Amino acid sequence: MIELNAQTIAFAVLSALVLGGALGVVTTRNLVHGALWLVLSLLGVAGYFVLLSAPFLAAVQVLVYIGAIAILIVFAVMLTRSMTSLGEVRNRQWWLSAITVILLFLLLAAGIILPVWGRGAPGEVTTLSATVGGAAELGAALVAGDGFVLPFEVASILLTAAMIGAIVVARDEEDEQA
C-alpha cells in the first residue's frame, strides 16, 4: 500500500493545512480570522505544488494568492467593516446546502475511487516520470506559436480590462466632484 516516508508525511500535513484552512474559512465568524485561514489553506496548496514538482507554480501561488489576493481580501474586510457587523454567519438554507454538498462529494469520490478500486487498477500510474518540465519549458510553451501564445495575450488583455474596470467601479464619484 502506501509506505511511510517524508513525502507521505508531508502530504498528510499539507492535506490537514488545506482542508483545515478551508473549513476555517467557511465557518469562522470573524472575517479577519477567515482571511488568515484562507492564507493557511493557500499555503498548503503551494506545498502541494512543491510535492508535484512544480516549484514555479508554488512561488506564483505564494506571490499572487497570499501576497496579493489574500491581502486584497483583508483590505475589503477592513473597508466594509464586515467583521464588526457580524450577525448570523449562515443563511436559512444552509442545511440544504450542506446536504447538496455532501451528496456532490460522495458522487465525486465515487468517480475518483471506483476506477482504481481493486483488480489491478488498469488506469493507475505506478511510477512517476523522472523528467519534468520546469519554469523554462513553461515560459517557452506560453510564448510558442503552436503553444499558448494566443491565450496568453488574451489573459493579459483580460487582466488589464479587469484592473481598469475595478478602478472605475470602486472610484468614489462624490469625492471627485468635491
Partner 1 sequence: MIPLWMYLLVAALLFCIGIYGVLARRNAVAILMSVELMLNAVNINLVAFWRYLAPQDMSGQAFAAFVFVIAAAEAAVGLAILLFVYRTKRSVIVEDVNLLRW
- Contact set for partner 1, span 92-151 (CB under 8 A): 93-94, 97-98, 100-102, 104-105, 108-109, 112-113, 116, 124-129, 131-133, 137-138, 140-142, 147-148, 151
Distance CA 24, CA 40 (A): 9
Q: How far is the CB of 120 from partner 1 (least distance, A)?
A: 14
Count of chain residues binding partner 1 (CB under 8 A): 88
DSSP code at position 120: T
Q: How far is the CB of 158 from partner 1 (least distance, A)?
A: 6
| Binds partner 1 by CB under 8 A, chosen from 13, 33, 75, 178 | 75
Q: How far is the CB of 112 from partner 1 (least distance, A)?
A: 5
Q: How far is the CB of 166 from partner 1 (least distance, A)?
A: 4
Residues 6 or more apart whose Cβ sits within 8 Å of residue 135: 55, 56
| Binds partner 1 by CB under 8 A, chosen from 4, 6, 91, 146 | 91
Q: CA 9 → CA 12, 17, 125, distances in Å?
A: 5, 12, 20
Distance of CA 139 to the CA centre of its chain: 22
| Binds partner 1 by CB under 8 A, chosen from 4, 6, 88, 150 | 88
Which cell numbers in the block locate residue 6?
A: 517524508
Distance CA 172, CA 5 (A): 56
Kind and range of the H or E run holding 121: none
30 to 69: interface string for partner 1, x by CB under 8 A = -x--xx--x--xx--x--xx-xxxx-xx--xx--xx--xx
DSSP code at position 116: G
